[in-house]
Structure 1
Amino acid sequence: MLIGVSDGIKDLSIKLGDLKNFLADADRRNITDESVRGWVGELKRAMYLATDIVDLCQLKAMEQGQTKDRGCLNPLLVCMRNPLHAHDIGTRIKMLNQNLDDICKRGSSFNFIKLEAYQDRKMTGYHATGRKTDSLMERSGAVGDKIEEDTRALVEVLTREAASDKRDRFMVVAIVGAGGIGKTTLSKKVFNDDSIKGKFTKNIWLSITQDFNDIELLNKAIIAVGGDLPGGGGARDRDLLVGALNNAIRDKKFFLVLDDMWGVDAWDKLLKAPFSYGGPGSRVLITTRHDTVALCMKVVHYHHVDKLGAKDAWSLLKKQVVTTEKGEPEIEILKDIGLQIIEKCDGLPLAVKVVGGLLCQREKNQRAWQKVLNDDLWSGQTMLTLSNQRVKMDCLG
Structure 2
Amino acid sequence: MADTVISLVIKRTSDLLIQKIVFLKGVRRQVERLQNDLVRMRCFLKDADQRQDDDERIRNWVSETRAAAYDAEDIIEIFASKVEFFTKKKGLVTKLTYYPLKIVNLYKIGKEIESLQVRLNDIADSREKYGIKNLGEGMATHGEELQRIRQSPPFSEDKDVVGFGEITNSLVAELLKEDRNRRVVSIIGMGGAGKTTLAKKVYNHADVRTRFNCRAWVCVSSSYDHKKMLRAIIKQLNEMSKELLEMLEQMEEEDLERRLYKDLQDKCYLVVLDDVWKEEVWDCLARAFPDVNTSSRLLLTSRNRDVAQHADALSKPHELKTLGQKDSWQLFLKKALDHGANSGCPPDLEEVGREITRRCDGLPLAITVIGGLLLAKKKLKSEWEKVLNNFSTHLSRSRSGVSAILELSYADLPANLKFFFLYLGLFPEDSVISVPKLIHMWVAEGIMQKRDAENLEETAAYDDVERLCSRNMVQVAEMTVDERIKSCRVHDLLRELAIRKAEDENFFQIHDTRDDKISAKSRYLAVHVLPWDENYFGTSTPPLRSLLFLNVHDFSLSFRSFRKLRILDLENVKLPYNLPKEIGKVRLLRYLGLRHTSIARLPHSFGCLRCLQTLDIRNFEPVIVSNFIWKLESLRHLYAYGMECDVPLRIEGLRNLQTLSRVRFDDIMHNNMITLTSLQKLWIWVDDKSEIDKLCLHLSEVGSLKALCLYRTQGREWPQSLAGLSKLHHVTELKLIGRGLRMLPPDFPPNLSRLSLKHTNLTDDPMPVLEKLGQLSFLEMTDATYGGPQHMVSFGNGFLQLKFLELSRLYALHEMNVEKGALPQLQCLRIRKCPSLRKLPEELKHISTLDVIELVNMPKDFISGLDADMVSSVPNLRMF
Bin of the TM-score, shorter chain as denominator length: 0.5 to 0.7
| 1:244-323 pair list within 5 angstroms | 244-269=259-284, 271-277=285-291, 280-299=294-313, 300-322=315-337
Q: Which deviates more from structure 2 when the two are superposed, residues 336-345 or residues 230-239?
A: 230-239
Instruction: Tell me the secondary structure at the aligned position of residue 205 of structure 1.
Output: strand
Question: Could you tell me how far apart the structure 2 residues matched to 1:115 and 1:324 are?
Answer: 49
Instruction: Tell me the secondary structure at the aligned position of residue 261 of structure 1.
Output: coil
Structure with more contact order per residue of length (Cα contacts < 8 Å, sep ≥ 6): 1
Q: Which position in structure 2 is the counterpart of 1:132?
A: 151
Residues 274 and 194 (structure 1), Cα distance of their counterparts in 2 relative to 1, 3 Å cut: same
The one-letter code sitting in structure 2 at the alignment partner of 1:291 is R
Instruction: Tell me the secondary structure at the aligned position of residue 217 of structure 2.
Output: strand
1:255–1:283 contact (8 Å) kept in structure 2: yes
1:334–1:365 contact (8 Å) kept in structure 2: yes
Instruction: Tell me the secondary structure at the aligned position of residue 347 of structure 1.
Output: coil
2:360–2:492 contact (8 Å) kept in structure 1: no
The one-letter code sitting in structure 1 at the alignment partner of 2:185 is V
Question: Could you tell me how far apart the structure 1 residues matched to 2:253 and 2:239 are?
Answer: 15
Q: Does 1:365 align with 2:380?
A: yes
Q: Does 1:389 align with 2:389?
A: no
**Higher percent of residues as helix:** 1
Q: Which position in structure 1 is the counterpart of 2:252?
A: 237
2:336–2:370 contact (8 Å) kept in structure 1: no
Instruction: Tell me the secondary structure at the aligned position of residue 157 of structure 1.
Output: helix
Instruction: Tell me the secondary structure at the aligned position of residue 334 of structure 1.
Output: helix
Residues 313 and 376 (structure 1), Cα distance of their counterparts in 2 relative to 1, 3 Å cut: closer
Q: CA deviation at 1:236?
A: 4.2
Q: CA deviation at 1:362?
A: 3.1
Q: Which position in structure 2 is the counterpart of 1:83?
A: none
Question: Could you tell me how far apart the structure 2 residues matched to 1:200 and 1:377 are?
Answer: 43
Q: CA deviation at 1:276?
A: 2.0
Instruction: Tell me the secondary structure at the aligned position of residue 204 of structure 1.
Output: strand
Q: CA deviation at 1:308?
A: 1.1
Question: Could you tell me how far apart the structure 2 residues matched to 1:381 and 1:204 are?
Answer: 44
Q: CA deviation at 1:185?
A: 1.1
* Bigger Rg over Cα: 2
1:202–1:252 contact (8 Å) kept in structure 2: yes
1:205–1:257 contact (8 Å) kept in structure 2: yes
Residues 281 and 2 (structure 1), Cα distance of their counterparts in 2 relative to 1, 3 Å cut: same
Q: CA deviation at 1:232?
A: 3.7
Q: Does 1:19 align with 2:44?
A: no
Instruction: Tell me the secondary structure at the aligned position of residue 256 of structure 1.
Output: strand
| Deviation string, structure 1 residues 231-254 (Cα, Å, up to 9, x no partner) | 444324212211211111112111
Q: CA deviation at 1:129?
A: 6.7
User: Which of 208, 221, 225 is residue 209 of structure 1 equivalent to?
Assistant: 221
Residues 292 and 366 (structure 1), Cα distance of their counterparts in 2 relative to 1, 3 Å cut: same
Q: CA deviation at 1:225?
A: 2.3
Q: CA deviation at 1:22?
A: 5.3
Residues 4 and 282 (structure 1), Cα distance of their counterparts in 2 relative to 1, 3 Å cut: farther
Q: Which position in structure 2 is the counterpart of 1:221?
A: 233
The one-letter code sitting in structure 1 at the alignment partner of 2:215 is N
Question: Could you tell me how far apart the structure 2 residues matched to 1:297 and 1:381 are?
Answer: 35
Residues 223 and 349 (structure 1), Cα distance of their counterparts in 2 relative to 1, 3 Å cut: same
1:178–1:389 contact (8 Å) kept in structure 2: no
| Deviation string, structure 1 residues 87-132 (Cα, Å, up to 9, x no partner) | xxxxxxxxxxx9xx9xx99xx8xxxxx997999xxxxxxx747343
The one-letter code sitting in structure 2 at the alignment partner of 1:20 is D
Gaps of 5+ in 2: 1-6, 12-38, 64-119, 131-135, 394-424, 431-472, 475-488, 501-880
Gaps of 5+ in 1: 24-38, 44-97, 109-113, 120-126
| Deviation string, structure 1 residues 302-332 (Cα, Å, up to 9, x no partner) | 211111122322232233333579xx77756
2:333–2:344 contact (8 Å) kept in structure 1: no
Q: Which deviates more from structure 2 when the two are superposed, residues 129-138 or residues 288-297?
A: 129-138
Q: Which position in structure 1 is the counterpart of 2:184?
A: 172
Corresponding residue pairs, total? 297
Residues 3 and 372 (structure 1), Cα distance of their counterparts in 2 relative to 1, 3 Å cut: closer
Question: Could you tell me how far apart the structure 1 residues matched to 2:156 and 2:293 are?
Answer: 27
2:213–2:268 contact (8 Å) kept in structure 1: yes
Q: CA deviation at 1:333?
A: 4.8
User: Which of 204, 208, 211 is residue 199 of structure 1 equivalent to?
Assistant: 211
Q: CA deviation at 1:200?
A: 0.8
The one-letter code sitting in structure 2 at the alignment partner of 1:15 is A
Residues 210 and 193 (structure 1), Cα distance of their counterparts in 2 relative to 1, 3 Å cut: same
1:259–1:287 contact (8 Å) kept in structure 2: yes
The one-letter code sitting in structure 2 at the alignment partner of 1:161 is E
User: Which of 147, 152, 160 is residue 177 of structure 2 equivalent to?
Assistant: 160
1:252–1:279 contact (8 Å) kept in structure 2: no
Q: Which position in structure 1 is the counterpart of 2:91?
A: none
Q: Provide the aligned C-alpha RMSD in A.
A: 4.1
Identity of counterpart residues, as a percentage?
Answer: 27
The one-letter code sitting in structure 1 at the alignment partner of 2:295 is G
TM-score (norm 2): 0.30
The one-letter code sitting in structure 1 at the alignment partner of 2:302 is T
2:278–2:307 contact (8 Å) kept in structure 1: yes
| Deviation string, structure 1 residues 315-356 (Cα, Å, up to 9, x no partner) | 32233333579xx77756522321111011110001112222
TM-score (norm 1): 0.63
Question: Could you tell me how far apart the structure 1 residues matched to 2:301 and 2:178 are?
Answer: 22
1:171–1:282 contact (8 Å) kept in structure 2: yes
Question: Could you tell me how far apart the structure 1 residues matched to 2:492 and 2:249 are?
Answer: 39
